[in-house]
Amino acid sequence: MGVLGGFFGVGGSFLAGPALYTLGLPMNFVIGTDLAHIMGKSIVAAKKHRALGNVDLKLGLLMVGGTLAGVELGAQTVQVLKRHNLTDLVLGLTFLVVLIALSLFMTWESLSAIRQRKGTSPRPIRAGQDTRDRLHFTAVTRRVLALRLPPSISLPASGIERISLWAILGVGLAGGFFSGLLGGGAGYIRMPLLVYVLGVPTHVAIGTDLFEIIISAGYGTISHALKGNVDILIALVMHTGAAVGAQIGAAATQRFHGPRIRLAFVPVLLLGASLLIYELAHRGALKL
Amino acid sequence: MNEPPRFSETARILAIELAVYAALVLLYLAVALRALRPWLLEAADRHHVTYAALCLMLMLGQGAVLEVLTSWLLRRFGSGRRQEEK
């Protein structure tokens, strides 16, 4: 989990959650304990990425407002689904659709970007963009960067000269919404959004996403601990293992270019989807 | 992009990290968790706000300490320093 977190900028809740559940931890403890462990692991990985110049602190801090609002919105949506007794089915299927759609899109995009790097390169979306971190799919990024909705700000660490604050808050909101709705840090959706919507370089997206996970998972940890859903002893033990892995994962990102990292992310998404299908079928939410 | 480190170098770091992991887990089982357990259980049962604050502080504290420790070990054994200098 630690290596995956450090390498891809995700908390890994979609893998750790089912593992804890299989070990016999009640579901409410699975969610709360996993959040606490994710926060600790993200501190280690984000610090390592910061040392490697992969964290855009300004972007991360600007996203916080959107992230926290999104977490609350997601949590409220869960309450509505609970009232209609649709939680397992709707959340499970939503998660499944998101994971499969992302894996298909990222496979196509990263393979196309790798092929383009070998042949003719497309027009860069940012001045001074690293040619080894080209995107194949830039339609959304170009529209977002061309958006003139004040206030506009610059993000030098991400190589972005001018971007609307609303676009940043929107990405934070979307990541926070999935975090509140499905649990975990929602790095599996925030990292791709940073890359494909805001045009942040892949390595910086990973580091910044980890910084954001510290905040969203920290908020979730307090919230769940107040409700008695955190076994902090389990989280501390899990974190000792994840912390060393996070260091290895973060250091390993320096060995790969953006498109290859994005392509390597696909099996992780598919593994998460497979575990989810198994879990849903096991609980009888899917008629398989 | 930095020059990738050699495989043997990466494997050596991994071995060091695993040794640290094993030592830390043993240390927790033997000392820290055993000592903390009664206090934490008491707080979890009766003082939810204190427990939430303790959870946050313990994770932040352990995160900071482990980051410093593992970074130091990586620098001490060579390859981490090489990567951060680039």
Best CA proximity match to A243, nearest among A10, A44, A36, A14? A44
SS3 A135: coil
Indicate whether A129 pLDDT > 70: no
**How much is the pTM?**
0.78
Q: Which residues of B touch A251 (CB under 8 A)?
A: 13, 74, 80, 83
CB neighbour list of residue A82: distance below 8 Å, 6 or more residues apart = none
Q: Comparing A62-71, A108-117, A224-233, which segment has the lowest mean pLDDT?
A: A108-117
Residues A232, B21: C-beta atoms closer than 8 Å: no
Indicate whether B46 pLDDT > 60: yes
Residues B55, A132: C-beta atoms closer than 8 Å: no
- Residue A262, pLDDT score: 78
Q: Which residues of A touch B5 (CB under 8 A)?
A: 255
CA–CA min distance B17, chain A (Å): 6
Nearest by CB to B66, from A42, A44, A233: name it: A44
Q: Please say whether the beta carbons of A158 and A59 come within 8 A.
A: yes
Q: Which residues of B touch A48 (CB under 8 A)?
A: 67, 71
Q: Supply the DSSP string of A15-65, one letter for each residue.
A: HHHHHHHHTT--HHHHHHHHHHHHHHHHHHHHHHHHHTT---HHHHHHHHH
Best CA proximity match to A70, nearest among A148, A202, A182? A182
Give the C-alpha distances (Å, rounded to integers) separating A119 from A76, A112, A113, A156, A167.
48, 11, 10, 29, 32
- Residue A172, pLDDT score: 92
For a pLDDT cut of 70, what percent of chain B falls above it?
65
Best CA proximity match to B23, nearest among B59, B57, B66, B64? B66
Interface probe, candidates B13, B59, B70, chain A, greatest A C-beta count within 10 A: B59
Residue the block writes with tokens 């960067």: A145
Averaged pLDDT score across all residues of chain A: 80
Residues A39, B21: C-beta atoms closer than 8 Å: no
Q: Determine the residue of chain A that is closest to B41 in CA distance.
A: A231
- Residue A171, pLDDT score: 92
Q: Please say whether the beta carbons of A177 and A74 come within 8 A.
A: yes
- Residue A170, pLDDT score: 92
Q: Determine the residue of chain A that is closest to B66 in CA distance.
A: A243
A247 class by beta-carbon count within 10 Å (0-12 exposed, 13-18 middle, 19+ buried): buried
Q: Determine the residue of chain A that is closest to B74 in CA distance.
A: A247
Chain center to CA of A166: 19
Beta bridge partners of A153: A163
Interface probe, candidates B66, B76, B77, chain A, greatest A C-beta count within 10 A: B66
Q: Comparing A24-38, A196-210, A223-237, B41-55, which segment has the lowest mean pLDDT?
A: A24-38
Model confidence band, residue B82 (pLDDT cutoffs 50, 70, 90): low
User: Cα–Cα distance between A214 and A218 in angstroms, integer?
Assistant: 6
SS3 A163: strand
CB neighbour list of residue B78: distance below 8 Å, 6 or more residues apart = B9
| pLDDT tens track for A143-196 | 888 878 788 898 888 888 888 899 999 999 998 888 877 777 788 888 889 988
* Chain A stretch 7-46, residues whose beta carbon is closer than 8 A to a beta carbon of chain B: 36-37, 39-44
| pLDDT tens track for A9-19 | 666 777 777 77
B14 class by beta-carbon count within 10 Å (0-12 exposed, 13-18 middle, 19+ buried): middle
Residues B52, A226: C-beta atoms closer than 8 Å: yes
Rounded to the nearest 5 percent, the helix, strand and coil shares of chain A are 75, 5, 20
More confident residue, B3 or A288: B3
